[in-house]
Structure formats: structure tokens, C-alpha cells
Amino acid sequence: MTNQVPKYSFDEFKIVYESTEKVTDRRLQTNRWNYTICTAVLVAIAGLIKYSVSNEPFFHIGLVIALVLSGMAILFCCLWVGQIKDFKSLNHAKFDVLKEMAPHLEYDPEHPGVLKPFCPFEKEWNKLEEMKALQEKGKTSFVALKSTNIEYYIPKAFIVLFVLVLIVVGILLLSNKNRFNKPTSIKPQTATQMSKIK
């Protein structure tokens, strides 16, 4: 009795392949969305700092809010890096499944064994290895095209920016801590001043 290797449906292979494309599209969409959020937060922090510096009563409150926003933004960027890793790991696993399925595909169930698989993913991977176009990403075990690892630099650059904001705002607060001790009092307006406003 011969040990026959099971054959897999080409339609099932196509479904797995399409799902890998969807994961890539979702990763790129998530990157765009996260980039937009980080840019908006950075602009909001800059506006808040500018307003705080020019308005004495809101100086400390505005800078403390800027500190909090920067800290939250750093955590958000760390989440972003994690999302990229997760999406890449998921896609890597999907391509491994495709690679395993490819040699055992049955393209024409009515005429089994007539069409043979070409195993394009395996051949493509071998060509990329020959061209030295692949590199292992950090401590993870998956290998990717060299240029795909650049997308990690965007959230990491935002982390650096938000850390710089934390440092600058912290220095501003510390160098102006004597303003905390000054009581800010709003003088009541007299009747003559009120009439001038009207």
C-alpha cells in the first residue's frame, strides 16, 4: 500500500493568497491612519505650547497637558510598532502555508495529475536570496525584503519627536517653576473700567 500525498484544491490556495493581500492592505491602511494621528497630535501639541507660552494664566496647565499628550503619543507609537510586527508575522505565516500547499495542488479535479505546480513562491524566494535582497528583522525569525523594514522607522521617528517634546516641555516647566509660586489673581474691574469696555 503506497503512501499517497493528499492533494489540495487550487480554490482554497487562492483564498489563502487573497487573504495575504488583504493583510498587507490592512497594514498599509493602519500605517497611514497612525501616521495621520501622530501628525495631528504633534500639531496639537505645538499649538498648545504656543498658546501656553503666550498666555500667562494657562502656562503651566497647557504645558502639563502637552506632557501628558506626548507620553500618550509615545505609547501609541509603541503600539504602532507592535501592529507592524503582528501584521508581518501573520503574512509570513500565510506565505509559509502557501509554500507548503503549492506542491500538492490539484488544478483540474476532473483530470488529476495532468497539471503540475510550478511553485512560484518558492522559486521567487530563492531568486531573492540569490540577489541578497532579504534580511532578517531584528530579534524576530522572519525574513523580509530590505526596504519593508523601513516602515519601522516612521513610528520610531515619531517616538524620538515626542521624547524631544517631553524634554523641551520639561525644561520649560522646570525653568519657570517660580511661576507656580506666584499667585495669579484677577483684579476686579471697577465701574469706570466696565464702562470703557462697553
| Per-position DSSP letters for 104-136, written without gaps between them | GEES-TTSTTSS----HHHHHHHHHHHTT-EEE
**Radius of gyration (Cα) for the chain, nearest Å?**
29
Task: Show me where the domains of the chain are located.
Answer: 8-197
Residues across the chain: 198
Q: How far apart are CA 40 and CA 76, in angstroms?
A: 13
Between 188 and 107, residue with greater pLDDT:
107
Q: Tell me which amino acid residue 28 is.
A: L
Q: How far is CA 163 from CA 66, 156, 157, 166, in A?
A: 12, 11, 10, 5
pLDDT category, 106, cuts 50, 70, 90? confident
Query: Is the pTM higher than 0.75?
Result: no
Give 117-141 pLDDT, tens digit per residue.
666 667 666 666 676 655 565 555 5
The residue assigned the cell 502639563 is 64
Write the CB contacts of 74 (distance below 8 Å, at least 6 apart in sequence): 159, 162, 163, 166
* Mean pLDDT to the nearest integer, 97-107: 79
Question: Given a cut of 70, is residue 52 above it in pLDDT?
Answer: yes
Between 187 and 177, residue with greater pLDDT:
177
Give 21-45 pLDDT, tens digit per residue.
898 899 999 999 999 999 999 999 9
pLDDT category, 1, cuts 50, 70, 90? very low
**Strand 143-145 relative to strand 105-106, pairing:** unpaired
